[in-house]
Amino acid sequence: MKGSDRYSIDGVLCHFDGQPLPVTNLSVGGFFAATDRPPAKGLVVALDLALQGREPFPVLATVTWINNGDEPQNNRLPRGFGVKITKIAFQDKLAILNVLKQSDPSRQRSSLRKI
């Protein structure tokens, strides 16, 4: 598994600005969160990531791209934003890796835009 491989994992949420947002793809290095109100590209954001069966944990990330409704960069994804994780505890990164390893390989989305 490469760090840039992205997976569609059910039940993953990120909490941003008091709102739980569904994560539509996940990788060890980042993820995409669906929302009608994405933060600005380039903004550093503090998020809590919630994997099924585990307490949410904090991550610091940089917004690397926005998928808006007017001119989406990826028609297969809803409105929202992609982030690159810049700070995460080692055990939390291992938890993401473990979830990805246990996921169905057919749910891999390697053709998505890099996060």
Q: What is the spatial distance between Cα 56 and Cα 40, in angstroms, rounded to a whole number? A: 23
Centre a 10 Å sphere on the Cβ of residue 79 and count the other Cβ atoms it contains.
15
**Residue 75: inside a domain, yes or no?**
yes
Q: Read off the pLDDT of residues 62-111 as tens digits, 9 standing for 90 and up.
A: 999 999 877 777 777 889 999 999 999 999 999 999 888 887 655 555 44
Domain assignment of residue 23, given as a range: 13-104
**Residue 5: inside a domain, yes or no?**
no
| Residue 58: CATH number of its domain | 2.40.10.220
Centre a 10 Å sphere on the Cβ of residue 96 and count the other Cβ atoms it contains.
24
**Residue 21: inside a domain, yes or no?**
yes
Q: What is the pTM of this model?
A: 0.82
